[in-house]
Amino acid sequence: MIVAALWIFILCSAFITFGLYFIRLIDLIQVRDAPYVPLDSNAIQALLKNLPDLRNKTVYELGSGDGRVALEVAHRLRPKRYLAIEKGRWPMLMAHLKRLRAGNPPGLEFVSNDIRNTNLSPANIVFVYLMDDFVSQLKDKFKKELKPGTILISCQFPLKGKRPFKTIEVENGPIIASQFYFYRY
Q: How do residues 81-125 score in pLDDT, each as one tens digit?
A: 999 999 888 889 999 999 989 888 899 999 999 899 999 999 999
- Name residue 12's amino acid: C
Say if 100 falls within a structural domain: yes
* Residue 6 sits in the same domain as residue 91: no
Tell me which residue of 117, 60, 54, 48 sits closest to 85, measured CA to CA.
60
Q: Which residues pair with 61 in a beta bridge?
A: 84, 127
Note the pLDDT of residue 154.
Answer: 95
Q: Are 77 and 106 in contact (CB under 8 A)?
A: no
Return the DSSP state at 19: H
* Helix residue ranges, H only, 41-156: 41-50, 68-77, 89-101, 132-137, 139-145
Note the pLDDT of residue 28.
Answer: 47
Q: What share of the chain is helix, strand, coil (3-state, %, to 5)?
A: 40, 20, 35
Task: Compute the Cα dihedral for 111, 62, 50, 123 and give only its sign.
Answer: negative
* Residue 16 sits in the same domain as residue 106: no
* Residue 144 sits in the same domain as residue 121: yes
- Give the domain range for residue 3: 1-30
Q: Are 130 and 157 in contact (CB under 8 A)?
A: yes
Say if 62 falls within a structural domain: yes
Quote the CA–CA distance of 41 and 62 in Å, as a whole number: 18
Say if 48 falls within a structural domain: yes
* Residue 52 sits in the same domain as residue 26: no
* Residue 12 sits in the same domain as residue 58: no
* Residue 12 sits in the same domain as residue 78: no
Quote the CA–CA distance of 14 and 108 in Å, as a whole number: 33
* Residue 3 sits in the same domain as residue 49: no
Say if 36 falls within a structural domain: no
Which residues of the chain are modeled with pLDDT < 70? 1, 4-7, 9-34, 173-176
Number of H helices, E strands in the chain: 6, 7
Note the pLDDT of residue 175.
Answer: 60
Overall domain count for the chain: 2
Which residues, 6 or more positions from 76, have their beta carbon under 8 angstroms from its beta carbon? 48
